[in-house]
Chain A
Amino acid sequence: MLDSLSAWLALNIGEQASSWFDYFTNGKHLAWYASVRFTLLAAVFGALLAVVFGVLGAAARRAGFAPLRWLGLGYTTMVRGIPDVLVFLFFPLAFEQTVEWFMSRRLCSAEELATAVNWPPCSAAQWYLSTTEYLIMACVSLGIVYGAFAANVVHGAMNSVPKGQLEAARAYGFSSRQIFWNFQVRQMWVYALPGLSNVWMLLLKATSFLSLLQIADIVQWADRLGAPNYSSRVGLVHPDWRWKYYFVLFLFYILLAILSERVFAWLQRRASRGLALHGEH
Chain B
Amino acid sequence: MDWLLDNALVQDIIELARPSLFNIYFALASIPIGFPLAVLLAVMKNSSNGIISRVARIYIYAFRGSPLFIQFFMFYSIMLAFNLSHWKPMGIAHIVMHPLFIGPMVLILNTSAYAAEIFYGALRTLPKGEVEAAMAFGMNRRQIFRTVTWPNMIRLAWPAYTNEVVFLFHATALVYFTLPVINGQKDIMNKAGELFERDYNIFLHFGVAGLYFLVISMFIFFVSGRIYKRLMRHIGTDPTTRLKLAPNYMR
Contact = CB atoms under 8 A, between A and B. Distances in A.
A149 B173 contact: no
A93 interface: yes
Given A202-B251, A246-B74, A86 B206 contact: yes
Nearest to A249: B70
A266 to B, nearest CB: 18
Main secondary structure of the interface of B (DSSP, over half): helix
Contact of B206 (A89, A202, A249, A253): A89
A222 B77 CA distance: 11
Interface residues of B, number: 41
A205 interface: yes
A219 B206 CA distance: 25
- Most chain A C-beta atoms within 10 Å of own C-beta, residue among B64, B80, B249: B249
B101 interface: no
Contacts of A82: 170, 210, 213-214, 217
A242 B192 CA distance: 29
Contact of B78 (A153, A201, A202, A243): A243
A83 B78 contact: no
A90 B202 contact: yes
Given A97-B200, A257-B65, A85 B73 contact: no
A208 B202 CA distance: 22
Contacts of B200: 97, 119
A219 B69 contact: yes
Contacts, number: 116
Contact of B166 (A80, A256, A258): A80
Contacts of A222: 73
Nearest to A95: B202
Contacts of B199: 119
A254 B58 CA distance: 11
A253 B196 CA distance: 32
A12 B66 CA distance: 38
Contacts of B217: 80-82
A256 B67 CA distance: 11
B81 A205 contact: no
A86 B203 contact: no
B189 interface: yes
Interface in B20-61: 61
B213 A246 contact: no
A219 B73 contact: yes
B67 A199 contact: no
A149 B249 contact: yes
18 contacts: A79-B249, A80-B166, A80-B246, A83-B173, A83-B213, A84-B170, A85-B174, A86-B189, A94-B203, A97-B202, A119-B199, A209-B69, A212-B177, A226-B77, A242-B80, A243-B74, A257-B61, A257-B66
Interface of A: 79-87, 89-90, 93-94, 97, 119, 149, 152-153, 195, 198-199, 201-202, 205-209, 212, 219, 222-223, 226, 240, 242-243, 246-247, 249-250, 253-254, 256-258
